[in-house]
Chains A and B, each alone.
Chain A
Amino acid sequence: MTAGLVTALALAWYFAGPPWYLSQTSTPISHQEEVVLIGLQAVAKGYLPYVGTASVQYGPGTQVAAYWLMHHVTSFSVVGFREAWALFVWAGVSVLFAVFFLAFGYARGLAASLLSALVYPGLHLLAFQPGGSFDGYFGWDNPLRYVGAIALVLLLPAVVRRSPSWRGAAAGAAIGALWGLTSYLAQENLAGGAVGALAIGGLLLVSGSASWRALWTALVAVFAGFALIWIPVLAFYAAQGQLIEFLHQYFLFPRAVAAGANDTPWGGFNHTPSPYSHLFYALPFLLAALALLTVFQVRPLRIAREWPQERVTLLATVLATALLYEGVLLRSDASHLTGTELMVPALVIMTATVLPRLLGVQRRATVAVAGVALIVASFALLPHAAYSRTSLRLWAEAPYLDRQHLAAAPPPGKPATLAGERVGPGLDDATRCCQESPVSMSDFVRLMEQIHTLVGNRTAYVANFHGQYPGLIYFGADLNPAPVSSDPYSSIETQRDLRAFLADFRTRVLPQTQVVLTFTVKAPEAQSFLARYPNAHRVTLHYAGQPYYLLLR
């Protein structure tokens, strides 16, 4: 076990660990980062994390951890945020690989980890890019969003096997704490882990593979670990009188997505072609077949009872993959397939090494041939480029070569202005500031510095910005956000909620707001501000050749 853990951590460090040299990643600030930045800025200005002004649609723990890391480990800048995010990715990959080694043993864990890192794209969305730098989908892609559910479903059978005993209780509490922590970081872990744990527990019970007492004590231990993380969090918000608001925000997006909001057909409503369409369409049928095959045994053909460990592990792997895939059915695109792609390599390895024996193959040579055939057949789900020798070599070399050439580059100088510091060293002289924007970073920094100088410590409300989310302006210009009820761009989904937000803005927020920033005075918030303060002073700035107004009372 120790050798497995050491190997897992070493692999995770090589593929996703520091040093990342993120000051040399000149990727423009993405919309996904902009959405997250407003919450971080609000927390920095003293607002309660995750609720009200600091609300985000993602997990509360991710915001708190990112803020803490930016303040104490990295820096309070976009580059610092990316470094904090890289830490999340590293932690997520470490947990994922460690779970593979613990659940499947050394050889299978190694194979699944390497397949994840080199072939399947789940870990490539934010990684050392071949011939580039550590780059990708900052602010969104993060294995920690899924590894809690994966760890719980894959490791629960081992806990049940050891229960009731102190070792079983300790392992259950540890897995429960991990599940609780990752559920605090991202909502995806909560539902996936709960459904998966109940399903695998129920199957262990009715198949006669676990006793009621063993299962019960294991689940109690898991829940105790989960509660260890969540009780302080809930107690904190209860003490602040914001518990209902916190829970509402936590479940807002999962409930909306489950009901149909933001859901798309595969490839979006424009049906953008994707090289992973085979995987998306074939996987449910393969999972259904695998789940059925796993509960049958042959010679004689019958429904299996008292499952051996290998059968349980294979079924847990199928279950974990199936539950992660369910999310892709709602928001169906290649990015949202990431969670499933974290598990598919493990599914391939477990199927190849366990299924032939479960189906009655006994000769060692036949088992080996069948296993290899299954692994080769699984590549049919992927585009050829994903498993070509060139691709494998590039992804294997990238972490080493990227670090080599990035280390050779001279370190960037310290930014001269506050806005430059907010962007971060290195990124402040990028050729483009933001996603889908032609403006250079230096021009953007200049505008942010102007805004900061004009607004100062006044309470500001950013109604909109040209092509970008307001979070970018709050953060870039270090503004003091108005005490709004939530972020209208990430935490308000419906027209009705927007009307309620605007009504609250007019009656409660406006008296406390000293500046409104907007590219059009026709924005409802700007109209309300001008109606209430008809003598408001208007300053016109420019971004990409277009006016941007500051309304100061």
Chain B
Amino acid sequence: MPARQPKTRELCLLYMDTIDMPSQSPLTPSDGIPRAAIGDHDAVASAGVMRRPTGTPRPGPAARWLDRALRIANAGPRLFYRAALGSLAVTSALAMTTAALIRPHDQLPVAQRNMIAGALIALCLSAALGLVSLAAGRSRPPAWLDRVLAPRERAAIWLALAAWFPFLLLVVYYRAKATFPPPERYLYFPYDDKRWETAAYLLGVIAPAIWLTTAARVLAVGRCHPRTWRAWCTGLFPRIVVADPSLRANAVRAR
């Protein structure tokens, strides 16, 4: 059964499928080269299109940072949860600053006051949750949580949130700018600066899907211990893919 496969092996297949392939042999149906068996690492490796991620990383600051990042990627959701809280706290502080600084001369409009209040609440909330998290230390989360949503999925969600929060500053900035009088006198229609609405809309509707998928990919590649930062980055962009995901399941079952 696919669910019984060792997690590390499945993830690393994903990693190897996507990183360590030379620029030749595209392995697509159109080029006449038979596609490697789905999920079959050895077959792909023996076809000469990828290498096993073996060997030790070169020493140096970059390697040390990479090693640290890889440990974090493999450590589970706790650090990403804290990163998300930190991101929320920093975003809140910057939002308050932005709202306080970007305003019409000699006045603090209602919009700015509301944004400052909202950001303050978010800052307090992130501080409180951060303290609770620190107090809880390394205690395990309840088992039902792992059953509902696996730790690595939670890690991806928290990472996506950590990356998503700072973009809210765009909304704050445009909302603050919208309180300024129009830069020009328009002739036929009134002026209504709605950039903050479109920014909020795009961040709320389209960005989460992109952020979540990217975060899951970043962590999945990171769990396979890429040797360099470059390998980690290139691993995000697969060079061959499974034509039909159901084939992967079949291949795994066949083993």
Contact = CB atoms under 8 A, between A and B. Distances in A.
Contact of A208 (B26, B149, B242): B242
A165 to B, nearest CB: 4
B132 interface: no
A308 B244 contact: yes
Interface stretch (B66-74, B101-109, B111-119, B205-213): B205-213
B194 A260 contact: yes
Contacts of B214: 202, 206
B232 to A, nearest CB: 13
Contacts of B201: 284, 325-326, 329
A262 B191 CA distance: 6
Interface stretch (B43-51, B55-63, B92-100, B233-241): B233-241
Interface stretch (B75-83, B122-130, B165-173, B182-190): B182-190
A504 interface: no
Interface string B187-201: 111111111011001
Given A260-B195, A295-B209, A269 B217 contact: no
B5 interface: no
A206 B213 contact: yes
Given A211-B238, A307-B245, A199 B190 contact: no
Interface string A186-216: 0000000000000100110111111111100
Given A199-B210, A208-B18, A265-B192, A260 B241 contact: no
Contact of A329 (B188, B189, B197, B206): B197
Interface residues of B, number: 56
Contacts of A205: 236-238
A530 B53 CA distance: 84
A116 interface: no
A315 B209 contact: yes
Contacts of A206: 210, 213-214, 217, 236-237
Contacts of A211: 26, 28, 238-241
A545 interface: no
Contact of A330 (B156, B188, B194): B194
A306 interface: yes
Contact of A207 (B28, B189, B217): B217
Contact of B204 (A212, A265, A284, A308): A284
Nearest to A166: B30
A211 B30 CA distance: 14
B217 A329 contact: no
A265 B185 CA distance: 19
B160 to A, nearest CB: 9
A295 B213 contact: yes
Interface of A: 164-166, 168, 199, 202-203, 205-214, 258-265, 269, 284, 287-288, 291-292, 294-295, 300-308, 315, 319, 322-323, 325-326, 329-330, 489, 492-496, 498
18 contacts: A202-B214, A203-B209, A206-B213, A206-B217, A209-B241, A211-B26, A214-B28, A260-B192, A261-B186, A263-B193, A294-B209, A303-B215, A306-B248, A307-B245, A308-B246, A322-B205, A493-B188, A495-B184
Interface of B: 3, 14, 18, 26, 28-31, 148-150, 153, 156-157, 178, 182, 184-195, 197-198, 201-202, 204-206, 208-210, 212-217, 220, 236-242, 244-246, 248
- Going nearest first, the 9 A-B pairs with the smallest beta carbon separation are A165-B30, A260-B193, A495-B185, A303-B216, A494-B184, A263-B192, A212-B237, A262-B189, A306-B245
